[in-house]
């Protein structure tokens, strides 16, 4: 199975957004975004699922909210409650 992401856009001249459409829709997930930080030397990557829009919301509004939320939380440290430790990315 060959997964091919297609380039979608560049956000804030810093993040490259790639998109993969799911051929078989499972529930409300219809695709996946791959967001890459272009400034970081290690090319940090995050993934965000694309969902069907909520009632009263367009697909474009939903996509902008998903991408902006992922970028906002890109370097937010993750806290694991079970071990009570903090990890970076």
- Domains of the chain by residue range: 6-87
User: In this structure, are residues 50 and 65 in contact, taking their beta carbons and an 8 Å threshold?
Assistant: no
**How does residue 81 score in pLDDT terms, banded at 50, 70 and 90?**
low
CB under 8 Å to 32, separation ≥6 — which residues? 19, 20, 22, 47, 48, 49, 50
Res. 22: pLDDT tops 50: yes
Closest CA to 39 of 62, 19, 16: 16
Q: What is the mean pLDDT of the chain?
A: 84
Percent of the chain with pLDDT over 70: 84
CB under 8 Å to 28, separation ≥6 — which residues? 51, 52
Higher pLDDT, 23 or 47: 47
């Amino acid at each position: 199975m060959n997964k091919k992401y297609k380039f979608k856009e560049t956000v804030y001249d810093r993040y490259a957004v790639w998109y993969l459409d799911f051929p078989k829709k499972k529930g409300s997930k219809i695709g996946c975004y791959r967001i890459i930080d272009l400034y970081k030397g290690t090319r940090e990557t995050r993934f965000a699922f694309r969902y069907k829009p909520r009632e009263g919301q367009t697909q474009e509004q939903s996509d902008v909210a998903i991408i902006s939320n992922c970028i906002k939380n890109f370097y937010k440290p993750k806290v694991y409650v079970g071990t009570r430790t903090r990890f970076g990315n």
